[in-house]
Amino acid sequence: MSILKIKTYPARVLKETAKAVKSVDGRLQELIANMSETMYYANGVGLAAPQVGVSKRLIIVDTSYREEGGSNLIVVVNPEIVYQEGDVTAIEGCLSLPRFTININRSARVYIKGLNADGNPLEIEATGLFGRALQHEIDHLNGVLLIDRLTSLEKQNISYSLQKIQR
């Protein structure tokens, strides 16, 4: 396993729609292992393949170590939100937008379908931090970043701050 470089805004891969995974094979398993090592190393609760430069519809999430002190990695291949309800606003951060936290409105409950790490069908109903993390990572697969969910004025302020940091 190895720690991968996390792409940061404005990397092009972060704005593209990721491609569907055609087969769950050894290469995908290696990518999952490397992504999980990268996510834990970076202190994240989720990571999408585009964030490590791979345009595939693959996400990993583990909120349990923050919520319960344990570890429970969830892998979803080709995730799709099939149902969502309610609204909740909370602060979010993103490994691809380091040093920023933003108040974002998300669905309070989501129902996700996809495949697990072995290629078997998976269904998840989620709320709280876990539901928020799933939505956040699926946004990455669709080329949507936190800043895309902001008002124009909020976006200008963030862009200006990001430019200062990148200099």
Q: Is 80 a catalytic residue?
A: no
| Contacts with 155 (C-beta within 8 Å, 6 or more apart), sequence order | 147
* 21 DSSP assignment: P
Instruction: Say if residues 106 and 132 touch (Cβ distance below 8 Å).
Output: yes
Instruction: Centre a 10 Å sphere on the Cβ of residue 153 and count the other Cβ atoms it contains.
Output: 8
Collapsing DSSP to helix, strand or coil, 113 comes out as strand
Q: Which sign does the torsion angle of CA 131, 132, 138, 142 carry?
A: positive
Q: Which of 16, 37, 80, 137 is catalytic?
A: 137
E strands, 43-96, in order = 46-48, 58-61, 74-85, 88-94
End-to-end CA, the chain: 32
Catalytic residues: 137
